[in-house]
Amino acid sequence: MVTRSIYRGFSTQKSWETRGRSFSTADIQTIKADLLNHIYTIKGERVMQPNFGTRIPLMAFEPLDPTSIKIIEDDLREVFTYDPRVNLIDLIVLAMPDNNAIVAVLDIEYIQLQEFDTLRLEFPTGS
């Protein structure tokens, strides 16, 4: 039985050898790559789409305070609202002062694939 992928993409994130001599991705890998590309694109950076992206890449030297946490939480919610392939079930954003980082734990559902996953993203910040 041959299974077909619903979503197909291209990524150079992992080495050529570990992917079986291919740069192609499918389904969940493709969706995750698209979400991360959206998260790490600065607003105004995409041509003809000034509202695409987040402020998260600019947060590297911001203080680790409730305002920074709120910005990251709002931007992550916006990314997951933008992508129709996923449903954000739960979002927890925590300050990690010992690591100078903000950690986001996201429970998501891949709608068409009917699978659930937990993503953990760490964003470095200032002190």
Residue 92 has a pLDDT of 96
Prediction pTM value? 0.81
C-alpha 15/C-alpha 100 separation (Å) is: 29
Higher local confidence (pLDDT), 95 or 22 = 95
> Which domains are present in the chain?
8-124 (3.10.450.40)
C-alpha 44/C-alpha 47 separation (Å) is: 8
- Name the least confident of 4-8, 71-75, 121-125: 4-8
Residue 2 has a pLDDT of 42
Tell me the pLDDT tens digit for each residue of 16-64: 455 565 555 556 888 888 899 999 999 999 899 999 999 999 988 888 8
Is 68 strand, coil or helix? helix
